[in-house]
Amino acid sequence: MSAPVTRVPSYQRRIGVFWWVHKRSYFLFVMRELSSIFVAWFVVYLLMFVAAVAGGQQRYDEFLDRATSPLLLVVNAVGLAFLVLHTVTWFALTPKAMVLRLGGRRVPGTAMLAAQYVALAVVSAFIYWLVVKA
């Protein structure tokens, strides 16, 4: 018979629930991940808006009445802040995650960032024009 195997207990440091709050990079990472909830919320909210418009004037008016409730205004304001965070942090990750070459030369990360923000501004201006001017 062999002797029983004994395990030596190893030290395991306890990690608190809010370990990510103490370092800025971890905090931004977790906030970016949480922002996905608000991205999903805005997709659902947009689909509800489209359904209300398709449902006729009465459903559209009911949607607008609900949209002006204080709770929804706060949720949408917080959601907008998280969407801005989501956009800025993902734009900042692009040059680190992707190497872009033009003519055999690597495109600098700042040029990639600038192109993203210009594209965002152009698309936003076009949507504004569609909604307000048309």
pLDDT, tens digit, 9 for 90 and up, residues 42-77: 999 999 999 999 999 999 999 999 999 999 999 999
| pLDDT band per the 50, 70, 90 thresholds, residue 11 | confident
Q: DSSP assignment, residue 21?
A: G
Range list of H helices, 23-131: 24-54, 57-67, 70-97, 109-128
pLDDT digits (tens, 9 = 90+) for 25-44: 999 889 999 999 999 999 99
84-100 pLDDT, tens digit per residue, is 999 999 899 999 999 99
Q: What is residue 134's predicted lDDT score, i.e. its pLDDT?
A: 67
CB atoms within 10 A of CB 133: 6
CB 60 within 8 A of CB 53: yes
Q: Provide the pLDDT for residue 92.
A: 92
Hey, where are the domains in the chain? 19-83
Query: What CATH number was assigned to the domain covering residues 19-83?
Result: 1.20.1300.10
87: nearest Cα among 49, 120, 47? 120
Tell me how far apart the 2 most distant CA atoms of the chain are, in Å: 88
